[in-house]
Amino acid sequence: MSSDYSFPFQTNMIYNNPEKRRIAEDMLERYTGSDAGAFQKNIILTNFQKYLQVFRDRAGAELHNGSAFAVVHCPADHISMVDFKIGAPTAALIIEMLGVVEPQAVLFLGMCGGLHRSLKVGDFILPMAAIRDEGVSEHFIPPQVPSLPTFKIQKFISQIIVEHQMDYRTGVVHTTDYRFWEFDDTFKRILYEERAIAIDMECSALFSVGFVSKVPIGALLLVSDLPLRKGGIKTKESSRQVFASFTEKHIQIGIESMIQIQKRGEHIRHYRW
C-alpha cells in the first residue's frame, strides 16, 4: 500500500473543527447518557459491564446508560469510567468524543489473549506499541506511522504495579478486527512471525486516534486466555473465573495510577505540538 501524503488527515481532528466538536459533544451525551460537563479529567476505559459495576459500587455513584455506552463518574477521585463495548471502531469513536472533554489522562483496562509461551492467565501486560491490523486507524494517520501509547501514563502504571510487589510484561500487542482468527492457520502463522506478546481488538485504534486527537492514553491489559494453546480459547466459564479472580486488582491499579497522575502534577503528553 503506497503512502498518500495528500490525504487530508487534518479533517479528522476535533480540536480544529468547531462543528465537529459540537456534534461530538452531543454524541458523547447521547451515547453515554451523561452530560459532558460531568466527565472527570481522568478517564478509565473498559469493555466490560462487570468492571463498571465494581467501580460504581466502590464510588457509590450513579451508573448512566446511554444509547450505546455506559459511564460512572467519581468526582471524589476525579475519575470517570466508560464502558465503550468491544472493537476498534468503538475505540476510535470514544476517543474522538472524549476529545471534547480534554482529559488529562485516559487509561484502557482491557483484556487480551496471551501469545508468548511464558504467559499465563492473570498476567499483566503493559503495551509498548500496537500492530495496526484493524481498519480504523488508517482513516486518521498514514499506515507507516506506529501506534504508541503515551509514555508517561505507562510509566505511572508500571510504578504502581511495582509498589504492589507484582510483576508485569511489556511488548508489542497485535490489534485485529478479526474475531475468529483462532481457526485460521494462516493468520496464526503470521502471529508467530511477528512475535507479538498478545492480541486484542482495541489498542492500536485507541493509541493512534489518541495521538491524532491530543488525548493522552495508556493501557494495562490482563491476559484472559491463551488462544494459541490447546484448550486455551476463552469460554463463558473461564471468563467468569477471570472476572472473579482478577477484576478487583486490575481496577485498583487503574484507579491508583489515575490518582498518582493527578497528585504528581506532571505534564503527561510527552510530545510538543
Q: Residue 188 and residue 162: Cα distance in Å, rounded?
A: 33
Confidence at residue 14, expressed as pLDDT on a 0 to 100 scale:
57
| Number of helices (H), then strands (E), in the chain | 7, 9
pLDDT along the chain (273 residues), means of 10: 45 70 96 97 96 95 97 97 97 96 96 96 97 96 95 91 93 97 96 96 98 95 96 94 95 93 68 41
1 domain residue, yes or no:
no
269 domain residue, yes or no:
no
7 domain residue, yes or no:
no
Confidence at residue 16, expressed as pLDDT on a 0 to 100 scale:
75
User: Cell 484507579 appears where?
Assistant: 255
191 domain residue, yes or no:
yes
Confidence at residue 157, expressed as pLDDT on a 0 to 100 scale:
93
* Structural domain count of the chain: 1
Whole domain around residue 169: which residue ranges?
Answer: 13-264
272 domain residue, yes or no:
no
46 domain residue, yes or no:
yes
123 domain residue, yes or no:
yes
pTM (two decimals): 0.92
273 domain residue, yes or no:
no
Q: Is 35 helix (H, G, I), strand (E, B) or coil?
A: coil
Of 257, 260, 269, which is closest to residue 109 (Cα–Cα)?
257
CA dist 120 → 125, 168, 212, 223, 243 (Å): 11, 11, 34, 7, 15
Of 73, 69, 67, 82, which is closest to residue 38 (Cα–Cα)?
73
The domain that contains 260 carries what CATH number?
A: 3.40.50.1580
Q: Is 270 helix (H, G, I), strand (E, B) or coil?
A: coil
3-state helix, strand, coil in the chain (%, to 5): 40, 20, 35
